[in-house]
Structure 1
Amino acid sequence: MLIQPQPPRAFLTALMLLLPSMAAAESLGELHLPTVLSATRLKQPPAEIPGSMTVLNRELIQASGARSVPELLRLVPGMHIGYRRGNQANVNYHGTNVTEARRLQVLVDGRSVYRSGLATVDWAELALNIEDIDRIEVFRGPNTAAYGANALMGVINIITRLPLETQGTSLKYTHGKRGVRDWYARHGGGDMQHSWRLSLASQQDDGFDHDEDGNDYRDSLRSSRMNLRHLWNLTPNQSLDWQLSASETSRQHPYDYSTYLDHEDGNSLVDRAINAHQPDADVRGRDFATQGLWKLDFNPDHQLQVQAHAQHLERLRDWRVCDSPVVFSDRLRQLNSLSQLAARRVSSYLDKPNRRETLDQYIDRYLSSAGETYTPQMQELANQLLAETTQYRGSEPACWDINENIRETRFQVEVQDSLRLSPRLRLLSGGSYRYDRVDSETYFSGALDNTIVQLFSNLEYRPHRRWLFQAGGMYEDDHLIGGSFSPRLATHFFIAPQHSLRAVYAEAVRSPDMYENNADWRYQVRNLSGPVSGPVTLYSHAQGPGDLDQERMRSRELGYHGSFHQLGLQVDVRVFHERITGMNSEPLKIDNFLPNNDSQIRFKGVETELDWQATRADRIRLTHSRIDYDATSRYDQRLTAHHSGSVAWLHQWPHGVNTSLLYYGADQLNERRFERIDSRIEKKLNFRDDTSLTFALVWQYRLDNEALTWDENLYDSPSHLYLSAGLNF
């Protein structure tokens, strides 16, 4: 039975205060309506896209005071932000598994940063600075028809500023509580033919203050980034846009190797051995990428572009672990290969102080509840292992070095053609080829390659000024998975030129990535010490099934988009019903690695977004999402908030003073309430036409008393403060 929580009170209060004031809006004249790119790959005004699009523009990004992209995405209705630890954010649209974010395609200037090896987006390691972002376009809903698998739930396209918009030199430093120490430096130059920008940045903070037991929490982040962009207008109708980016990241990570035999007193030989080696398992990350975009305008109705990119990512983590010598037992290894659950239960059986069941009864009960059969072969191995394990309790541990290093490389080339066939008919078509390689002796016992070929198209037909029809689709052939086709159909009826009602039907897929489907996860043992001799092999081993199917979604959407020019108001409403089948929702740990296609989830609800330029000095923005869901997996039942949303008020005062006040709320994120008020005040001092000094103070205050996503994510104070100073010349 699903809990139906109530909307956060502060959110309802903000709505009641702000909505009545709409009647007093003054006429602002003609409103400039930007086009968006991330829906169908065609340039379209918001009223014509086949779905809902949230655009976070430069003004809103700056006013938010956010230091990271995940924090910016709190402004997107239906987007749920979770934290595994202070340096590891997870971004999910509508929810699903709280620790994994596998179902969003994320692009930076059209280049995918979705990691093919580990099936995720590593937000901390992105070689991207907030100061370089022009806008973020978020397509809310399945978009496999335009961007292929992994765009199952939506697309986040981060678009950086053009070099001509960032001429001169900019220096910025940010200092604040919780160890915030950021700096940013940028210099740009050139002219209308050649323009370029180089930016360097560093970001650091201390993460959460302590865990639920009051212990210091090692989850700080240190990151350095470099970005170079050069735009060359080769001819009046031809351009070449080239970028180079790199980042290096260090993230604290606690010792998280789970010993096979537990030691509750904390002072066992194993515990003392672990402490003697100071086995903090920090993560070092490196990210390198280069990309180029060539555009050719044959005429105003025909454009061709070719985009290519190459990227290499590294996540390096090595540390020393200690455990009972029994982890090298042949019996344990054989039992674990038959049932990981049975192998774990032999260990937990020893920790039961008052056992009323035999070992066989104990294991059989757990395996039956999990749908497994306790076979005679398992029984024999389990009882032999129990006798062997008992003699090792309290013995001297074995210690050795392990690593979780992984390197991923990608090359991709894409061709796209946009052609207006007639005043009523427009066609976009293209294709791409992608090569992925992942290399890890731990996760894959070596290297694994994959190739993906995509063919896509979108047809736009306007038979009448009040009607617009769109049909699009993508065929994708994944060498490791197979082929799939994702269609989308959309109809728009225009009440007025910038007011449309839409109906959208879409099918989408998500391909299981290498980690889920093809893992060969085993730890290599090096520098072994302790009471073990001869060749050794660690018992733990996780093997991907190799035959996982694609996850599949069917989505139905009704919506409205309206732009009230004279009021400076834009409204978007999305009513949706989404069903995903064949989901892989199981945890993917080495001792519990059971990926399958057995789960499904259904979402239905409504999302509303309102952006109002109330006066020339005031901008008010409201978002709200209400979602009902029904999930078969308990892991997918924890991150979806029934009610969530945001309120923002931006005001320009005289004498170069700007302020912003923002509220974020969600009634349950991993079963925890989240409410926060953010405020920012900025003062700009202009010395000459091209020289200015800007000070900005950001204050964040949590209105709830909950941990953030997990029990251990706690701060000493609900208040967070940081100050920035920026010089432009």
Structure 2
Amino acid sequence: MLSLLFRRSLLTALAGLVCTLSPCAADNQAQFGAETPFFEDLPTVLSASRLPQVLNEAPGAVTILDRHFIQATGYRDIARLLRLVPGMQIGQERGHSQWVTYHGLGSDYPTEIQVLVDGRSVYAPSAFGGVDWSSLPLTVDEIDRIEVVRGTNSNAYGANAFLGVVNIITRHSHQGRGVTVQTNLGSHGISDLRASWTGGSDDTGMRLTASRLQDNGFSRLNDSRVSQTVSLRSDHRVNATDELTVRAGYSRLERGMGYPDSIYNNNGERTANAEVSTLHLTWRRTFSHDEEWLISFYRNHEASIDRWTASSPSFPVVPLNRDRSSNRTNIELQHRFALTSQARMVWGLEGRRDDSKGSFLFFGSAPPEVNMYRAFSNFDWHLTPAWQLNFGGLLEKNGDVATQFIPRAFLNWQASPSDTFRMGYARAWQQRNMFDIYGDVRVFASGTDPRTGTPVAWPYVPNPNLRTPSVDTLEVGYLGRFHALDATLDLRIFNEKITNFVIRRNIPQSIAPLVLSALPSSQFVNLDSPVTLRGLEYQLRTKPRAGTEILFNHTLIDRHTDEPEVAKRTAPYTASLTWLQDFGTGWKSTASILRMGSLAGGYGYVPTCDYTSRAYTSLDLRIARTLELGGRRTEIALSGINLGERHQEIADRSQQCLPAYLNKPVNPASSMVWLSLGIEI
């Protein structure tokens, strides 16, 4: 009875919403007399518990961006796709700099979510941490799907999955054989070229992709970029049970940084370079659908060169840099199997070593190498056909932090074949960032001996006593399928309580004596009071008529904290509406409207500057035509992003505090339009 009443009220609301978005003629109802494949089959997800699970059996909310949807957007950047996931808060400080979080709260380099490519962490352990989205050795075209676990998932992937997981899954090398070439030309100097070859034998597949992205970034900003990427994936079937997968990638990024009028040129204009390389080996032995062994090894290397010169009336030459490099080496063993016909389990062991260097960022010496060890297990038990229990635990020893136990428990109730209710609890810890603990930046005038001289500025003071943040999450969810509208609705209600949250505070000058008091010293410290995020988010996906697909996301967040500055780092609401239309005869279009509430991204390099970007609405459009040219499948498309009002997404808060920018955005996003031509050979 509860399920029936719930569905009737939801169905009434959904019908009104869908009829507002798309025509709902009475004669269209006949086509829903029989179930459609979209309605019958929910997708299988891999990222929620490391067990393959139908979406309504996963422990928590999971959003899937499939290949069809990714291609329909026409986006040039992976991070932009995540704007269309409920709860995600994305912004650009400049054309090539993406600020990506789930539920906000992030620092200048957010570290609250784990980002994986085929299960390999792309989190950069060096210096500031986070993910450099513009330098990933991966192209949008290689992606098969993106799974976003919306909520704490450290039980499966460790401390960096503090508030969620983004798992980017690439296409198998036996898919889509042949050669594809695509070029983009457009405003703001957009000039892209990508080529991909896929081939091999029946037992061995191989895909080689090379791309070059170039643009001038936003108007009136020094943020041009030239990105070059080469990637390889090969899948070799050894025998009936064993498969070996090799992934390798390299990217080189040259990008404009800084502003021409920052105080003392402390963030002056310059060109920075970044290089990222990776090697990932996976051996998989599959005995049956219910049992599999997996061994994975990868090594990531990243390096950045970012140098410029500051000056002041007293000190005409002050060299600055953010040069840094890091290596991450990781090995993992995983085994999943069926205990009974109603119970499955996965367990595994993982070991990792991170080392980082950055002589200017870590005065005197490099931070210590960090060794991490973890053991994990997840258990999936169908108590009855309607009730399902997911629970598990992870033990993690990370550097000098005490061993942590990370639990999670979820109960799913399939009230009917079309209605699933879920509720769960999870606890997680956040891996401490190397720069937060050991960051020690002392600025000296040219010719001054750092061993004996007084620093001109000391913006970052280390804090080896920084405590590890933790989060306790309670959530209730609903996943429903509505036959009459060919629709799915995913609802999540959450309460996330974070203790020992890390913020940046000014410290007395007596602790860090310096010459220029206009640039105060600061240190990362823990908040004494908790930060709590409460709210709801939902996603409605529907196909109200043939050729039409509509995706609507909405998130509301109530922020509770004693620190107003922290509350501003989470937007109180976000919403997006995406309309995909197939007109037939090869014509297709995609339109996305995004509404983002006011947001202060990060904390800025001068912590006394407090600025919040205003709420804005943005529009992205794409129209494409697919046709045959000379027997080759060809697609021509016209795309545009940021087509609405001129708006600012993430402010450079230090720059924004200058008198010249008090009444106008320092870095508003620019509209960009480009023409694409893609050919399959």
TM-score range for the pair, normalised by the shorter chain length: 0.7 to 0.9
Aligned twin of 2:416? 496
Tell me if structure 2 keeps the 8 A contact 1:95–1:636: no
Corresponding residue to 1:56 among 49, 52, 65: 65
RMSD: 2.6
Aligned twin of 2:645? 704
Aligned twin of 2:36? 29
Kindly provide the amino acid, as one letter, of the partner of residue 481 in structure 1. Answer: V
Counterpart secondary structure, 1:714: coil
**Structure 2: runs of 5+ lacking an equivalent:** 1-15, 508-518, 601-612, 652-664
Alpha-carbon separation, structure 1, partners of 2:52 and 2:235: 20
Alpha-carbon separation, structure 2, partners of 1:534 and 1:109: 46
TM-aligned CA distance change 1:423 to 1:600, over 3 Å: same
Corresponding residue to 2:538 among 608, 613, 621: 608
Alpha-carbon separation, structure 2, partners of 1:678 and 1:84: 18
Counterpart secondary structure, 1:422: coil
| CA deviation map 1:485-516 (0-9, x unaligned) | 11101001111235211011111110212111
Q: TM-score, normalised by structure 2?
A: 0.86
Aligned twin of 2:455? 538
Aligned twin of 2:661? none
Alpha-carbon separation, structure 1, partners of 2:427 and 2:672: 43
Tell me if structure 1 keeps the 8 A contact 2:261–2:268: no
Q: 1:564: Cα distance to partner?
A: 4.0
Kindly provide the amino acid, as one letter, of the partner of residue 289 in structure 1. Answer: T
Alpha-carbon separation, structure 1, partners of 2:169 and 2:566: 31
Corresponding residue to 2:633 among 682, 689, 692: 692
| CA deviation map 1:446-495 (0-9, x unaligned) | 33311000111101111210100111121110113222111101001111
Kindly provide the amino acid, as one letter, of the partner of residue 21 in structure 2. Answer: L
Tell me if structure 2 keeps the 8 A contact 1:493–1:502: yes
Tell me if structure 1 keeps the 8 A contact 2:24–2:544: no
Alpha-carbon separation, structure 1, partners of 2:644 and 2:282: 45
Alpha-carbon separation, structure 2, partners of 1:183 and 1:496: 49
Tell me if structure 1 keeps the 8 A contact 2:42–2:56: no
> Bigger CA drift: 573-582 or 614-623?
614-623
TM-aligned CA distance change 1:494 to 1:597, over 3 Å: same
Aligned twin of 1:597? 526
Aligned twin of 1:185? 195
Is 1:429 matched with 2:358?
no
Aligned residues: 619
Aligned twin of 2:563? 633
Aligned twin of 1:519? 439
Kindly provide the amino acid, as one letter, of the partner of residue 436 in structure 2. Answer: E
Is 1:714 matched with 2:632?
no
Corresponding residue to 2:137 among 111, 127, 130: 127
Tell me if structure 1 keeps the 8 A contact 2:299–2:328: yes
Counterpart secondary structure, 1:613: strand
Q: 1:223: Cα distance to partner?
A: 0.8
| CA deviation map 1:32-71 (0-9, x unaligned) | 3220011001100110111101101111111112111221
Aligned twin of 1:235? 239
Corresponding residue to 1:654 among 577, 581, 584: 584
Corresponding residue to 1:322 among 297, 311, 316: 311
Aligned twin of 2:293? 304
Aligned twin of 1:559? 477
Kindly provide the amino acid, as one letter, of the partner of residue 479 in structure 1. Answer: G
| CA deviation map 1:360-384 (0-9, x unaligned) | xxxxxxxxxxxxxxxxxxxxxxxxx
Alpha-carbon separation, structure 2, partners of 1:114 and 1:53: 21
Aligned twin of 2:94? 85
Is 1:468 matched with 2:457?
no
Q: 1:700: Cα distance to partner?
A: 3.2
Alpha-carbon separation, structure 1, partners of 2:106 and 2:57: 33
Counterpart secondary structure, 1:61: helix
Tell me if structure 1 keeps the 8 A contact 2:444–2:457: no
Is 1:726 matched with 2:678?
yes
Kindly provide the amino acid, as one letter, of the partner of residue 233 in structure 1. Answer: R
Kindly provide the amino acid, as one letter, of the partner of residue 35 in structure 1. Answer: T
Return the index of the structure with the highest Cα Rg: 1
Aligned twin of 1:218? 222
TM-aligned CA distance change 1:41 to 1:256, over 3 Å: farther
Tell me if structure 2 keeps the 8 A contact 1:401–1:527: no
Is 1:446 matched with 2:372?
no
Aligned twin of 1:412? 330
Q: 1:281: Cα distance to partner?
A: 2.8
Alpha-carbon separation, structure 2, partners of 1:631 and 1:192: 58
Q: TM-score, normalised by structure 1?
A: 0.80
Aligned twin of 2:492? 574
Tell me if structure 1 keeps the 8 A contact 2:284–2:293: yes
**Structure number with higher relative contact order (C-alpha < 8 Å, ≥ 6 residues apart):** 1
Alpha-carbon separation, structure 2, partners of 1:706 and 1:257: 21
Q: 1:161: Cα distance to partner?
A: 1.2
| CA deviation map 1:601-645 (0-9, x unaligned) | 211111111112333412111111111112333332224232311
Kindly provide the amino acid, as one letter, of the partner of residue 194 in structure 2. Answer: Y
Corresponding residue to 2:83 among 67, 74, 82: 74
> Bigger CA drift: 456-465 or 399-408?
399-408
Kindly provide the amino acid, as one letter, of the partner of residue 226 in structure 1. Answer: V
Alpha-carbon separation, structure 2, partners of 1:658 and 1:399: 56
TM-aligned CA distance change 1:153 to 1:91, over 3 Å: same
